Structure 1
Amino acid sequence: MVGLPERLDPADDSLPVWTERYLDLAVRGVRSAEVTAKISRHLERFGAWITGGLGHDRLSAVTPREITAWRDHLAAAGNCGRDNMPAPMAPATVNNHLAHL
């Protein structure tokens, strides 16, 4: 895993902190409220999945391997079906999630 530089506050390595900063700097006020909400949902979904899988929300621990695993998860069981069972997401929806990430 990647260590944190001395000057970086450990709170800055948190996915929720990064998500809010990203939304503030690049999304809010630039994209419509609907698109902003969608991007936020997708990033929160990723954060919850990472936290559930790794047991923490450190951004520096996220590697291409985790992104690939998330993509595979979304494609296999990213939706909740009518019976509350995991269901696959459509390829375009998976790509949309990846683009937002």
Structure 2
Amino acid sequence: MLRTVSVLVDARDRAEALVRGHEERLEAVAGQSRRRPRPRVYTEEWDEPLITGMRWMSVLVRIACSDDVFPEPARQPAAKYRIVTPEAVLACRPEVILAS
């Protein structure tokens, strides 16, 4: 997205440098994380009803070398397809809960 906008505002070089910097930092974090245990993570976008996190949250969990306990629902853009029950969350046995 940043690359697309940069073309429109004639700032392609600056945007490319920014994107490369972010990619390098993400790779550094991922590299460090690969050597650690992979905790099971539940991401919560909403609490009433319980709605699992969106795709970008699942991606961040994966970058941090953790496992999203609800990876399939995270791929759904509409929140109504990501509603879960408290019992389903408990059944997944998350070690970490991230709530927004």
Normalising by structure 2, report the TM-score. Answer: 0.29
If each structure's helix is expressed as a fraction of its own residues, which one has the higher value? 1
If each structure's strand is expressed as a fraction of its own residues, which one has the higher value? 2
Return the index of the structure with the highest Cα Rg.
2
